[in-house]
């Protein structure tokens, strides 16, 4: 460590200590761990291509983490694309150490192959510690050409509903499961290269029922809604305190969730294997859509550092202003809150898993 | 409109922003010259610095880099024969052949001028298209996009070379390699051998570098003298300028093909470059020079690739759907500055729009001028011993390939495809169709199944499909009529010789080439037969396109092998002891390849920084006979430069799996 760096670190540590004193949280063992991350660099492994949504998300969070993790470590984002995120996650499994300095920041593209037991998967995601997590909600919308004006019309659209997707056993899974929960007759056309091209196909009129993540919906689809070319229908929803997806989406508060949509369409609470499978897949894709994982043996003190940083970030007004622009305004979830429900979703009960595999095999020709 | 354009120009001309544009251009030009590193590498190298600047300066810097990458890659392609970026492979074929004949300056000046025109056309189209491009992009539905891919494949048929069997076989090989990885329409992964590495398919950069770059560098390492047999004469610049003027309409058409390629999301510069090149082949009366140094091939290809990277910004900015990989990173930068591209972005930020356009246009023009200025200096490199240039090129190609996924598989695949490319070159097979087949495999298959799922077979009757279909069928009909007439008149058909193979001059050399060719035919046959057995177990939707490549592949490989065997290349030499002929070139290059394999194994086992000094010692001191002191010094400089490159790319190099 150079002299200048040491000076900077000391100044930062001093600064952190002062802030801590003023904030009257001095009871916490802040100084000890402030020394831990001070002057260190955290490598955030993003297993997707540069410029993609996950990379953008990681870069958006980096300055806030640098500011709020005690000791102000530098965050370095490293993209490791390949294998639909499996390569990067496998690399993390082989190389990360339990020191909190390597993070795997990823999506359900990593967790779905894990729960479905793809043989290329070499990582044990359910064992990993969670540093922080961010929600990523979907909005389902339709074209006026379907005659559907709200959820209740979904029972009897005037034309076949056509949904464009990428691959069934990946990020499209919870949306496809929502069709099962709601008992909708939707023709799924899979094989697009991304949600952007799917959106273009919707604009061209090739598909008429689409799902986009909230930030994209707000910037790209809302203009279509305003000009009468798209009608928003329902969102994925969010978890309640019992770990069930009964609440409305945190950002799209005006839209019914899948849970409510079921009540509107069928007059009852959803239940059964389809609903359980949806909740599992939705937790992985939406509620904990972007999650930062740590090595399984990471000491609790280091995990706590991240927990405290998340609390501080959620109190930072600048974060909320930025998040409104980038994600639509989802808060950050700490590992302390996310770990238990996330692990449960990563180890679904056998009947739920069997239902998912059976649906994928029979309806979408996925081989296991 | 004009006031926004002028105020944007005023904003760009502020010293700090102009400086950012220049820095971007310098990085872009350097990266463009390094084989295997293209626009993506340049942009991602600059990205961390972009956030230190204001948004205008930051975006100007990124555009400065993107706009010139496909200008400066001409230099490497022409002087070395290894494509500076995947999209300049046609330039490598034609330009390098010209350079060997001593016409490097002509090839370079046409390339630079065409690049500049392509960039400026791209910028103009960007200006004019923004208000009207929305409907155009939306008019191109999945069925129409499939037809465009077919047009590309049809055009590729012009690149087959004189030997139709080998030409089509190589195209099938490219298509087959393109089907590795996920099937778009079925939840099935093909030919992945249980390797996570292959789950996303193979990177274009590695295919282009393997087929073209490795073979060239192997020749350089094996051979003795400089790149051109004659001294590279850089005096006939004027001739180049006149040549460019003669080809002005071709350059323009190339640029327009490039622009169209840019409009279509996810069709990269490579595809449109090949289509433009094939267009040049079709519209040139005397096709005999193609593959042996045809300046018109360079004019069309360089016009197209620069136009594509700039026109890629149209879908990026109108729909937030990046037109290419570099555009995807550019979009990430826009996000970071708080802009969300889309119709609103364009109408609400006219200043930013025009600043982007100006940056692209200015960088295109200045980039070409700078290329003209630096080329005489770079051309001197072709005078020094091959190995001294080849060593850094090989290192950069390995680093470039390693950018694909940062795993050792990248390097292994580079060498495997390098072996295939080398065998094609030495066996007298055309290489271009393989790259075209590879580039088109994905979009063809994807759009075919999407169109089929969306419309059934009714998509065949869509007006756009019929119009584009006519683009293929009408010329085919005309050709058939001409062919029939010519046959009736008893005249031989005009040959198309777009094979980039160099023929051996001695009988012994031809025999060595024949052996390489026999081995390649046998390898192709084995590969296609294996693939055929494998493919039978696939789902219907995952099987169709591979079958389209494999069935003719098996038949053609069998014919090619039968011909090679019939020619008797495999028989032992009866001509007595070998003189210093082509035979030893083949053997020398094979030795170089084996050393390269040993080097790759070394990288895997003990890591890049431990294995590289040994490799450099072999190349520089043992082969090129540098004095030990000079060799060590030069090697240290090279390793230092690679280290700097890796730091800038923010990418590690392989650490040893066993030791290190």
CB contact under 8 A, B328 and A199: no
Interface test with B, best of A60, A83, A167, A169 (most B CBs within 10 A): A83
Is B624 contained in some domain?
no
Whether the Cβ atoms of residue A72 and residue A9 lie closer than 8 Å to each other? no
List the single range of B360-369, B433-442, B495-504 with lowest mean pLDDT. Answer: B495-504
Q: Which residues have C-beta within 8 Å of that of residue B91, sequence separation ≥ 6?
A: B73, B74, B77, B78, B83, B107, B111, B297, B298, B301, B302
Which of A63, A84, A200 should we substitute to test contact with B (largest number of B Cβ atoms within 10 Å)?
A: A200
Strand stretches in B442-538, DSSP E = none
**Is the Cβ–Cβ distance between B317 and B353 less than 8 Å?**
yes
Which pLDDT tens digit goes with each residue over B608-617? 999 999 999 9
Which of B77, B67, B61, B64 shows the shortest CA–CA distance to B115? B67
Mean pLDDT of B426-445: 86
> Rounded distance, CA A272 to CA A265, Å?
16
Instruction: List the 277-336 stretch of A: residues with Cβ below 8 A of B.
Output: 325-326
Query: B545 to chain A: which residues are within 8 Å by CB?
Result: none
Task: Answer yes or no: are the C-beta atoms of B433 and B170 closer than 8 Å.
Answer: yes
For CATH 3.40.190.10, the residue range(s) in chain A are 138-284
pLDDT of residue A53: 83
Residues 179-198 in A contacting B (C-alpha not used; CB under 8 Å): 189-194, 196-197
Using pLDDT thresholds of 50, 70 and 90, give the confidence band for residue B266: low
Answer yes or no: do A220 and B40 touch at CB < 8 A. no
Question: Quick count: other Cβ atoms within 10 Å of Cβ B254?
Answer: 34
Nearest to B199 among A120, A192, A220 (CB): A120
pLDDT at A180 over 90: yes
The pLDDT of residue A24 is: 40
In eight-state DSSP terms, residue A27 is T
**With a CB-CB cutoff of 8 Å, which residues 97-126 of chain A face chain B?**
119-122
* CB atoms A83 and B199 under 8 Å: yes
Q: Which of A136-140, A210-214, B285-289 has the lowest mean pLDDT?
A: B285-289
Cβ pairs bridging A and B (under 8 Å)? 144
Query: Tokens in use for B655?
Result: 């650490």
Q: Is B6 domain-assigned? A: yes
Q: Is A63 on the interface with B (CB under 8 A)?
A: no
At A22-38, the pLDDT tens digits run 444 434 444 445 689 99
Q: How confident is the model at residue B638 (pLDDT cuts 50, 70, 90)?
A: very high
> Is B636 part of a structural domain of the chain?
no
Is residue B654 in some structural domain? no
Q: Which superfamily does CATH assign the domain made up of A138-284 to?
A: Periplasmic binding protein-like II (3.40.190.10)
Task: Convert the pLDDT of each residue in A327-363 to its tens digit.
Answer: 888 999 999 999 999 999 999 999 999 999 999 999 9
What is A40-135+288-347's CATH topology? D-Maltodextrin-Binding Protein; domain 2 (3.40.190)
Does the beta carbon of A364 lie under 8 angstroms from any beta carbon of chain B? yes
pLDDT at B159 over 80: no
Position with higher pLDDT, B330 vs B413 = B413
Pairing of strands A41-46, A102-106: parallel
Q: Is B650 in Cβ contact with A367 (below 8 Å)?
A: no
pLDDT value of position B234: 62
Between A138 and B205, name the one with better pLDDT: A138
Residue A265 CA, distance from chain mean position: 27
Which chain B residue lies closest to A188 (C-alpha atoms)?
A: B453
Judging contacts by C-beta atoms under 8 Å, the chain A residues touching residue B47 are: 50
**Contact check, Cβ <8 Å, B332/A216:** no
Of A120-134, A151-165, B109-123, B182-196, the least confident: B182-196
What average pLDDT does range A162-179 have in this prediction? 92
Q: Lowest-pLDDT range, A222-226, B275-279, B297-301, B566-570?
A: B566-570
> Above 90 in pLDDT, residue B552?
yes
- What pLDDT does residue B6 have? 86
Q: Which residues of A touch B653 (CB under 8 A)?
A: none
pLDDT in tens, B214-228: 888 888 888 755 554
Contacts of A121 in chain B (CB under 8 A): 196
A80 interfaces chain B, CB cutoff of 8 Å? yes
ipTM above 0.85, yes or no: no
Distance CA A172, CA A190 (A): 9
Pick from B46, B48, B142, B196 the residue to mutate for testing the A interface (most A CBs within 10 Å).
B196
Percent of chain A clearing pLDDT 70 (strictly above) = 91
State the pLDDT confidence band at B658, using cuts at 50, 70 and 90.
Answer: confident
Distance from CA of B450 to the nearest CA of A (A): 7
What pLDDT was estimated at residue A31? Answer: 47
Contact between chains at B321 and A194 (C-beta distance less than 8 A): yes
Choose among B40, B199, B336: nearest Cβ to A59.
B336
Task: Pick the more confident residue, A128 or B484.
Answer: A128
Question: CA of A212 to nearest chain B CA: how many angstroms apart?
Answer: 13
pLDDT score of B332: 80
User: Which of the pair, A172 or A35, is modelled with greater confidence?
Assistant: A172
Reply yes or no on whether the pLDDT at B161 is more than 80. Answer: no
Q: Which residues of B touch A364 (CB under 8 A)?
A: 187
Chain B touched by A264 (CB under 8 Å) = no
Q: Residue B162: pLDDT band by 50, 70, 90 thresholds?
A: low
Evaluate if residue A12 carries a pLDDT over 70.
no
Is residue B494 predicted with pLDDT exceeding 50? no
A55, A326, A366 member nearest B187 (Cβ): A366
Per-residue model confidence (pLDDT) at position B233:
57
pLDDT over 80 at A85, yes or no: yes
Query: Residue B647: how many CB atoms within 10 A of its CB?
Result: 11
**Residues of B in Cβ contact (< 8 Å) with A194:** 321
pLDDT given at position A350: 95
The winner for highest mean pLDDT among A216-220, B16-20, B125-129, B322-326 is B16-20
Determine the straight-line distance between the first and last CA of chain B, rounded to whole angstroms.
Answer: 60
Q: Which residues in chain A are closer than 8 Å to B184, comparing Cβ atoms?
A: 191, 193
Closest residue in A to B143 (Cα–Cα): A206
With respect to residue B659, please indicate whether it lies within any of the assigned structural domains. no
Domain containing residue B23: 2-221+238-485
Please give the pLDDT value at position B172.
93
Binary contact (A367, B200; C-beta < 8 A):
no
pLDDT number for residue B583: 53
A203 touches chain B (CB under 8 A): yes
| pLDDT averaged over every residue in chain A | 88
In a 13 Å sphere around the CA of B423, the CA atoms on its Cβ side amount to: 18
Give percent of chain B above pLDDT 70. 90
- In the predicted model, is pLDDT for residue A120 greater than 90? no
Cβ neighbours of residue B654 closer than 8 Å, sequence gap 6 or more: B402, B408, B411, B603, B604, B607, B608
Hey, is the C-beta of A228 within 8 angstroms of any chain B C-beta?
no
**Residue-averaged pLDDT of chain B:** 84
Look at residue A10 in the predicted model and tell me its pLDDT: 42
Residue from the list A49, A83, A189 with its beta carbon closest to the beta carbon of B454: A189
> What is the mean predicted confidence (pLDDT) over B152-156?
74
Give the number of other Cβ atoms within 10 Å of residue A143's Cβ. 21
Predicted local distance difference test score (pLDDT) of residue B227: 52
Contact A137, A235 (CB under 8 A): yes
Min Cα separation A191/chain B (Å): 4
pTM of the shown model: 0.82
Q: Do B197 and A366 touch (CB under 8 A)?
A: no
Mean pLDDT, rounded, for A127-133: 97
Q: Is the pLDDT of residue B65 over 80?
A: yes
User: What 3-state DSSP class applies to B232?
Assistant: coil
Confidence at residue B480, expressed as pLDDT on a 0 to 100 scale: 82
Report DSSP state, residue B200.
T
Query: pLDDT at position B506, please?
Result: 66
Joined tokens for residue B302? 């360089």
Residues of B in contact with A206 (CB under 8 A): 141-142, 454
> How close is the nearest chain B Cα to the Cα of A165, in Å?
10
Render pLDDT for A239-287 as a digit per residue (tens, 0 to 9): 888 889 999 998 999 999 999 999 999 999 999 999 999 999 999 999 9
Q: pLDDT-based confidence at B503, cuts 50/70/90?
A: low
Q: Residue A209: which pLDDT band, with cuts at 50, 70 and 90?
A: very high
Count how many domains chain B has.
Answer: 1
Where does chain A hold its CATH 3.40.190.150 domain(s)? 40-135+288-347
Q: Does position A5 have pLDDT exceeding 70, yes or no? A: no
Closest partner residue to A80 (CB to CB) among B194, B333, B405 is B405
**Is the model's pLDDT at A2 over the cut of 50?**
no
Give the pLDDT band (50/70/90) at residue A291.
Answer: very high
Mean pLDDT on B72-90 = 87
With contacts defined as CB-CB under 8 Å, which chain A residues touch B330?
A: 51
Contact between B589 and B219 (Cβ < 8 Å): yes
B473's CB contacts (< 8 A; 6+ apart) are none
From the list A49, A59, A215, which residue is nearest B328 (CB)?
A49
Query: Which of A81, A189, A325 is opposite residue B405, by nearest beta carbon?
Result: A81
Q: How far is B468 from chain A (nearest CA, A)?
A: 18
The pLDDT score that the predictor gives to residue B160 is 64
pLDDT of residue A1: 41
The minimum CA-CA distance between B550 and chain A, rounded to whole Å, is 22
Q: Are B344 and A122 in contact (CB < 8 Å)? A: no
CB contact under 8 A, B319 and A49: no
Residue A56 forms contact with B (CB below 8 Å): yes
User: Across the interface, do B328 and A119 touch by the CB < 8 Å criterion?
Assistant: no
CB of A220 within 8 Å of a chain B CB? The answer is yes
pLDDT of res. A220: 86
- The angle formed by the CA atoms of residues B342, B345 and B347, to the nearest 5 degrees, is 110
pLDDT surpasses 50 at A7: no
Tell me what the mean pLDDT of segment B576-602 comes to. Answer: 78
| pLDDT tops 70 at residue B62 | yes
């Amino acid at each position: 460590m150079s002299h200048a760096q040491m000076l900077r670190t000391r100044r930062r540590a001093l600064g952190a200590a002062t802030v801590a004193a003023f904030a009257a949280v001095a009871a916490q063992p802040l100084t000890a761990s402030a020394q831990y991350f001070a002057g260190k660099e955290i490598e955030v492994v993003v297993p997707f291509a540069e410029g993609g949504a996950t990379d953008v998300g990681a870069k958006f969070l980096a300055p806030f983490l640098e500011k709020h993790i005690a000791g102000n470590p530098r965050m370095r984002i490293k993209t490791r694309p390949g294998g639909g995120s499996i390569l990067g996650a496998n690399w993390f499994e082989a190389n990360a150490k339990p020191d909190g300095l390597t993070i795997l920041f990823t999506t359900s593209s990593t967790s779905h192959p894990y729960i479905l037991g793809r043989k290329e998967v070499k990582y044990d995601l359910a064992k990993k510690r969670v540093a922080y997590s961010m929600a990523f909600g979907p909005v389902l919308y339709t074209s006026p050409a379907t005659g559907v004006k709200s959820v209740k019309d979904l029972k009897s659209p005037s034309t076949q509903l056509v949904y464009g997707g990428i691959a069934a056993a990946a990020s499209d899974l919870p949306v496809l499961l929502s069709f099962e929960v709601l008992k909708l007759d939707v023709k799924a056309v899979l094989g697009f290269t991304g949600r952007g091209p799917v959106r273009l196909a919707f604009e061209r009129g090739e598909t008429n029922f689409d799902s986009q993540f909230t930030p994209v919906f707000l910037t790209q689809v809302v203009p279509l809604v305003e000009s009468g070319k798209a009608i928003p229908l329902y969102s994925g929803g969010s978890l309640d305190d019992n770990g069930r997806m009964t609440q409305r989406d945190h950002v799209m508060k005006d839209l019914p969730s899948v849970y409510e949509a079921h009540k509107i369409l069928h007059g009852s609470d959803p239940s059964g294997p389809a609903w359980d499978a949806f909740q599992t897949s939705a937790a992985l894709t939406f509620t904990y859509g972007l999650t930062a994982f740590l090595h399984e043996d990471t000491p609790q003190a280091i995990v706590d550092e991240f927990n405290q940083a998340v609390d501080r970030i959620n109190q930072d007004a600048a974060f909320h202003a930025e998040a409104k622009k980038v994600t639509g305004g989802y808060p950050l979830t700490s590992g302390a809150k996310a770990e238990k429900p996330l692990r449960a979703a990563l180890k679904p009960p056998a009947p739920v898993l069997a239902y998912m595999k059976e649906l994928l095999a029979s309806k979408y020709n996925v081989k296991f | 409109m004009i006031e926004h354009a002028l105020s944007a120009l005023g904003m760009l001309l502020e010293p700090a922003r102009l400086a950012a544009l220049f820095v971007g251009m310098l990085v872009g030009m350097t990266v463009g010259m390094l084989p295997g590193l293209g626009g993506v590498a340049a942009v991602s190298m600059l990205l961390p610095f972009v956030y230190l600047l204001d948004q205008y300066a930051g975006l100007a810097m990124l555009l400065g880099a993107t706009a010139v990458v496909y200008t400066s890659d001409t230099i490497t392609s022409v002087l070395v024969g290894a494509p500076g970026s995947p999209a300049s492979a046609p330039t490598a074929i034609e330009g390098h052949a010209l350079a060997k004949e001593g016409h490097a300056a002509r090839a370079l000046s046409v390339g630079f001028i065409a690049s500049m025109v392509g960039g400026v056309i791209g910028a103009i189209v960007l200006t004019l298209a923004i208000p009207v491009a929305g409907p155009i992009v939306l008019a191109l539905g999945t069925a129409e996009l499939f037809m465009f891919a077919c047009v590309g494949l049809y055009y590729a048929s012009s690149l087959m070379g004189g030997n139709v069997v080998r030409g089509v076989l190589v195209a099938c090989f490219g298509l087959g390699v393109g089907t590795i990885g996920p099937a778009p329409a079925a939840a099935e992964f093909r030919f992945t051998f249980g390797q996570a590495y292959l789950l996303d398919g193979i990177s274009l950069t590695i295919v282009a570098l393997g087929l073209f770059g490795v073979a060239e560098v192997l020749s350089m390492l094996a051979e003795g003298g400089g790149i051109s047999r004659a001294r590279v004469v850089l005096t006939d610049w004027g001739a180049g300028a006149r040549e460019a003027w003669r080809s002005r309409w071709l350059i323009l058409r190339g640029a327009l093909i490039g622009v169209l390629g840019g409009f279509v999301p996810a069709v990269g510069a490579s595809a449109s470059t090949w289509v433009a090149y094939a267009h040049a082949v079709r519209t040139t009366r005397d096709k005999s020079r193609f593959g042996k140094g045809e300046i018109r091939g360079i004019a069309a290809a360089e016009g197209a690739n620069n136009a594509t990277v700039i026109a890629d910004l149209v879908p990026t900015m109108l729909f937030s759907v990046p037109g290419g990989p570099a555009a995807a990173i550019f979009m990430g930068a826009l996000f970071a500055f708080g802009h969300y591209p889309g119709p609103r972005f364009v109408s609400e930020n006219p200043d930013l729009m025009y600043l982007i356009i100006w940056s692209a246009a200015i960088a295109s023009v200045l980039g070409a001028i700078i290329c003209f200025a630096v080329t005489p200096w770079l051309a001197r490199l072709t005078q020094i011993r091959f190995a001294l240039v080849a060593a850094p090129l090989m290192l950069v190609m390995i680093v470039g390939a390693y950018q694909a996924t940062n795993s050792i598989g990248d390097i292994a695949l580079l060498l495997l495809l390098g072996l295939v490319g080398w065998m094609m070159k030495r066996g007298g097979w055309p290489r271009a169709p393989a790259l075209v087949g590879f580039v088109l495999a994905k979009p063809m298959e994807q759009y075919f199944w999407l169109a089929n799922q969306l419309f059934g077979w009714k998509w065949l009757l869509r007006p756009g499909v019929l119009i584009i279909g006519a683009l293929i069928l009408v010329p085919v009909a005309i050709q058939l009529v001409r062919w029939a007439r010519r046959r009736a008149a008893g005249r031989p058909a005009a040959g198309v010789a777009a094979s980039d193979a160099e023929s051996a001059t001695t009988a012994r050399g031809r025999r060595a080439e024949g052996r390489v060719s026999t081995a390649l035919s046998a390898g192709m046959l084995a590969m296609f037969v294996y693939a055929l057995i494998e493919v039978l177990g696939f789902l219907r939707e995952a099987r169709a396109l591979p079958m389209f490549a494999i069935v003719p592949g098996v038949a053609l490989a069998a014919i090619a092998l039968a011909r090679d065997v019939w020619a008797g290349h495999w028989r032992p030499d009866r001509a007595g002891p070998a003189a210093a002929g082509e035979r030893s070139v083949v053997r020398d290059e094979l030795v170089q390849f084996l050393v390269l394999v040993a080097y790759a194994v070394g990288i895997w086992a003990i890591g890049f920084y431990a294995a590289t000094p040994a490799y450099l010692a072999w190349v520089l001191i043992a082969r090129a006979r540098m004095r030990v002191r000079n060799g060590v010094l030069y090697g240290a400089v090279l390793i230092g430069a690679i280290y700097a490159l890796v730091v800038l790319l923010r990418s590690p190099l392989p650490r040893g799996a066993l030791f290190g």
